[in-house]
Chains A and B, each alone.
Chain A
């Protein structure tokens, strides 16, 4: 019947056929997802709005006077330097550990996988404090870099280990078959395969270092965040502190730009689909002795030092923590607040993560990057901004658990978004199309297909937000409901009067509770699976 020939066909379709609506759709696919993502990012940007308002109040003159000084330049250089050193060290340590536990026949590698992730459960203020009380006169840049590295290398280890576990071994085999040796295959193929995961982890470490206050204050390294805290302490100078904070935002933008650049290049190496077949494990032979020694040494430094120090404090002091009921109440509050923070964060992160995975494009990227902006701001700035928000906009929320949960969401949104986007990116979009073709509306598809498939990512994000929330102190102090103590605030209360023995149980409980989601993250990455060969 319809046999068309080129000459008889209808007019060729030109760009003129795209209406305005067509372009709008192209720019903004998935309007509902986009609207929800924009709302989530708006929440994450509350602190920036606040900063802008307060900085504008300060006036250009003050801004210039305060920022255009050698001291600010020095602080910025030191903050960036610390971030660079720690990030580099974390990448080396994280990638090496991940490779050892996923790609070699190292004895006890599952045990070491857990050990390598556990430092996530140790807040930097506890680790730094442990180091200071173990080694006399430990202070300055390099000790701070050491402690921060030991606390934050799991941020690189976990995603890289998961990527190594899932990477397609065929590429490596091809490389070997083409005559590249083991080391060159590692540098030319394996490292490239895991580059996106490494870059993502490195960005988290860098932002974590920028925002860290605990380690740098205890180890007396003057970074930007410490300067901001000092500005608050010095004569209650809110404006000055906030003006300094705007520099941190600028530094964050710098880091984000760097990571975005690597990501663009790295995306090409992203794995498509999954490998059914695990990579062959390298036989270490006698080399497993130095490898074991190195991993044990890192674990001893990262976990042993805090553990021994806590135990010693617990035994040597005489101050005693409150009754068991008080400790339990603090633990309950920590648990409840962190879970609420994780729940709210995941709620906000979900649309943005799905948008990034399902409708990638400049708009999704822009929203994703914006979500990171507040991530490196010190907790005290986040705290004040939400006080401002609570007092002026959301009065009924003020000094309720919800506002604190919102603060956690603001601080930790990027952790959650990345986890969701990663999981959603692995689920083939074809499944959602099939579901739609079977007559289910967008919401039903979300509920019955997308969410169940993204659940592992949601879980990983929630675990990460949860344990980061457990450790958070400055924003918690400012925003917690009056009269609500958490493990972190009780720890602060005790240590600021030198009641270390009283503080120790809170610290131990904090680390112990945080260790559970950490364990789960390790298991979730498949690092505890029994191998088929």
Chain B
């Protein structure tokens, strides 16, 4: 229709003259043929077409749904394949979309493992009974607070909630001692937030667990009243804090590393700095990215090898060095430039207690911080 107007009527029989679009050239057919051909190449060449098949146990191939970004984890997965000879087929998308996809697929999911950006998504899938319990050997490598109480998922790297601030515009002395101080009118229009981000939601749930629902509600109302700068994700907040658009922002600590990488510098070279809330404040909640194994693959040695691999010291060092996250296995050093996990004055919260996400969502929605 873009060329002719869709309502061109059929010419009446009285019409003596008419024009017919004369197809002057044949290349169109050639293009179509080439298209189908190259499509066949995509379909066959990428090996993608059998991706829908759930692999058999021990076939040296696993399918991983990764809510973690390809840029961050692909080198690690490549290393896994190199070391074990197991091919990893990885599906990258947002953690939320993959969780929805897994739930939609149900027992027919071709996935062997779900590598998620945060514990909440793992909990949502676990709640549907889709994960198989992990071997005790793997679970025991990780502190109790960073894994599922029923052993359905395990954290593989940790991140702390922080207040990112622009060192030029906010003197260190003025930084809040507690995250709750951010509702003070002096921060009006100065706070960056990503309320659709799962880490923010986990943090709100933590407030509810630690201080009760009313306090959480009041906090959200206070934030809203302070006209925060809403961003889609943490990267954008950190960038805007760095360039001075926003004075402070609630984010996870490791985004500083990503922004520094793009700018070709180290976290030290940025204007944006990290403030870890002291004194066990909820604002210093430590959350994890983790992995769960789908029931179908409970006995699959390749999938087990994958979980083992994520928790081995070498991989843990990768997280510390490449993604600026905290290793969760004891004995592996923290990333450079941030205080070790043990030195953080983290709030006393078990991630397993953060499973009442729906109430939090309702609260965030009602607060008006999200559309």
Query: CB within 8 Å of B: which of A209-252?
Result: 217-218, 220, 222-223, 226-227, 230, 232-238, 241
Decide if B9 touches A232 in the complex (CB within 8 Å).
no
Residue among A235, A270, A477, A493 with most chain B CB within 10 A: A235
Query: CB within 8 Å of A: which of B31-48?
Result: 32, 34-36, 38-39, 41-43, 46-48
Chain A positions within 8 Å of B198 at CB level: 233
B4 CB-CB contact with A under 8 Å: yes
Chain A positions within 8 Å of B89 at CB level: 482-483
Chain A positions within 8 Å of B92 at CB level: 477, 489, 493
**Bound Cα distance from A223 to B100, whole angstroms:** 21
- Chain B 1-42: CB-based contact to A (< 8 A → 1; otherwise 0): 111111111111101011111010000100010111011011
Chain B positions within 8 Å of A141 at CB level: none
Decide if A194 touches B5 in the complex (CB within 8 Å).
yes
**Bound Cα distance from A405 to B43, whole angstroms:** 11
Contacts known (A226-B371, A464-B2); A340 close to B36, Cβ less than 8 A: yes
A to B contact number (C-beta, < 8 Å): 318
Chain B positions within 8 Å of A502 at CB level: 71
**Bound Cα distance from A230 to B110, whole angstroms:** 26
- Chain B 80-96: CB-based contact to A (< 8 A → 1; otherwise 0): 00000000011111101
A484 CB-CB contact with B under 8 Å: yes
Decide if A234 touches B5 in the complex (CB within 8 Å).
no
Chain B interface residue count: which class? Answer: 35 or more
Contact among B2, B48, B124 with A236 in the assembled complex (CB-CB below 8 Å): B124
- In the assembled complex, how far is the CB of residue A144 from the closest CB belonging to chain B, in whole angstroms? 13
Decide if A425 touches B69 in the complex (CB within 8 Å).
no
Decide if A398 touches B196 in the complex (CB within 8 Å).
no
**Bound Cα distance from A501 to B263, whole angstroms:** 9
Contact among A271, A339, A384, A418 with B39 in the assembled complex (CB-CB below 8 Å): A339
Decide if A196 touches B6 in the complex (CB within 8 Å).
yes
Chain A interface residue count: which class? Answer: 35 or more
Contacts known (A482-B89, A493-B92); A390 close to B3, Cβ less than 8 A: no
- Chain B 264-295: CB-based contact to A (< 8 A → 1; otherwise 0): 10000000000000000000000000000000
**Bound Cα distance from A499 to B11, whole angstroms:** 56
Contacts known (A272-B15, A319-B261); A197 close to B35, Cβ less than 8 A: no
Contacts known (A230-B371, A236-B96); A343 close to B32, Cβ less than 8 A: yes
Contacts known (A235-B124, A267-B7); A498 close to B1, Cβ less than 8 A: no
- In the assembled complex, how far is the CB of residue A147 from the closest CB belonging to chain B, in whole angstroms? 16
Residue among A159, A272, A489 with most chain B CB within 10 A: A272
- Chain B 231-261: CB-based contact to A (< 8 A → 1; otherwise 0): 0110110110000010000000000001101
**Bound Cα distance from A498 to B124, whole angstroms:** 28
**Bound Cα distance from A431 to B370, whole angstroms:** 59
**Bound Cα distance from A155 to B1, whole angstroms:** 10
**Bound Cα distance from A2 to B186, whole angstroms:** 105
Chain B positions within 8 Å of A159 at CB level: 1-5
Query: CB within 8 Å of A: which of B100-134?
Result: 100-101, 103-106, 108, 110, 120-121, 124
**Bound Cα distance from A484 to B70, whole angstroms:** 12
- In the assembled complex, how far is the CB of residue B326 from the closest CB belonging to chain A, in whole angstroms? 18
B172 CB-CB contact with A under 8 Å: no
Decide if B35 touches A399 in the complex (CB within 8 Å).
no
Decide if A343 touches B39 in the complex (CB within 8 Å).
yes
Contacts known (A391-B105, A422-B1); A336 close to B364, Cβ less than 8 A: no
Residue among B32, B42, B235 with most chain A CB within 10 A: B42
Chain A positions within 8 Å of B41 at CB level: 332, 336
Contacts known (A220-B230, A391-B108); A399 close to B48, Cβ less than 8 A: yes
Contacts known (A136-B245, A384-B101, A453-B23); A426 close to B8, Cβ less than 8 A: yes
Contact among A234, A318, A480 with B196 in the assembled complex (CB-CB below 8 Å): A234
**Bound Cα distance from A201 to B6, whole angstroms:** 10
- Chain A 445-479: CB-based contact to B (< 8 A → 1; otherwise 0): 00000001101111110101000000000100110
- In the assembled complex, how far is the CB of residue A377 from the closest CB belonging to chain B, in whole angstroms? 15
CB-nearest residue of chain A to B21 = A456
Decide if B18 touches A274 in the complex (CB within 8 Å).
yes
Chain B positions within 8 Å of A402 at CB level: 43
**Bound Cα distance from A136 to B51, whole angstroms:** 44
- Chain A 328-352: CB-based contact to B (< 8 A → 1; otherwise 0): 0000110111011011000000000
- Chain A 24-54: CB-based contact to B (< 8 A → 1; otherwise 0): 0000000000000000000000000000000
Contacts known (A333-B42, A340-B39); A493 close to B70, Cβ less than 8 A: yes
- In the assembled complex, how far is the CB of residue A286 from the closest CB belonging to chain B, in whole angstroms? 33
B72 CB-CB contact with A under 8 Å: yes
Decide if A477 touches B93 in the complex (CB within 8 Å).
yes
CB-nearest residue of chain B to A167 = B5
Query: CB within 8 Å of B: which of A487-516?
Result: 489, 493-494, 496-502
**Bound Cα distance from A480 to B263, whole angstroms:** 31
CB-nearest residue of chain A to B72 = A497
Decide if B1 touches A400 in the complex (CB within 8 Å).
no
A273 CB-CB contact with B under 8 Å: yes
CB-nearest residue of chain A to B15 = A273
CB-nearest residue of chain B to A341 = B39
Decide if A272 touches B11 in the complex (CB within 8 Å).
yes
CB-nearest residue of chain A to B42 = A336
Query: CB within 8 Å of A: which of B47-97?
Result: 47-49, 51-52, 63, 69-72, 89-94, 96-97
B220 CB-CB contact with A under 8 Å: no
B357 CB-CB contact with A under 8 Å: yes
Decide if A158 touches B90 in the complex (CB within 8 Å).
no
Chain B positions within 8 Å of A272 at CB level: 9, 11-12, 15
Chain A positions within 8 Å of B320 at CB level: none
B160 CB-CB contact with A under 8 Å: no
Decide if B264 touches A317 in the complex (CB within 8 Å).
yes
A185 CB-CB contact with B under 8 Å: no
Task: Give the top 4 A-B pairs by smallest Cβ distance, nearest first.
Answer: A481-B48, A274-B19, A339-B35, A222-B371
Given contacts A343-B35, A482-B63, A497-B235, 6 further A-B contacts (CB under 8 A): A237-B358, A357-B10, A418-B1, A428-B15, A481-B51, A483-B48
B residues whose Cβ falls under 8 Å from a Cβ of A: 1-13, 15, 17-21, 23, 28, 32, 34-36, 38-39, 41-43, 46-49, 51-52, 63, 69-72, 89-94, 96-97, 99-101, 103-106, 108, 110, 120-121, 124, 196-198, 201, 230, 232-233, 235-236, 238-239, 245, 258-259, 261-264, 357-358, 360-361, 364-365, 370-371
In the complex, 29 of the A-B residue pairs with CB atoms within 8 angstroms, ordered by the A residue number, are A159-B1, A200-B7, A218-B232, A223-B371, A233-B94, A235-B358, A236-B100, A238-B100, A319-B262, A339-B36, A339-B38, A383-B97, A387-B105, A397-B52, A400-B49, A419-B3, A419-B4, A422-B2, A423-B3, A426-B20, A429-B11, A430-B13, A455-B21, A458-B28, A474-B97, A477-B92, A482-B51, A497-B262, A498-B259
A residues whose Cβ falls under 8 Å from a Cβ of B: 71, 75, 136-137, 155, 158-159, 162-163, 166, 194, 196-197, 200-201, 217-218, 220, 222-223, 226-227, 230, 232-238, 241, 263, 266-267, 270-276, 317-319, 332-333, 335-337, 339-340, 342-343, 356-358, 360, 380, 383-384, 387-388, 390-391, 395-402, 405, 415, 418-419, 421-423, 425-431, 452-453, 455-460, 462, 464, 474, 477-478, 480-485, 489, 493-494, 496-502, 521, 524-525
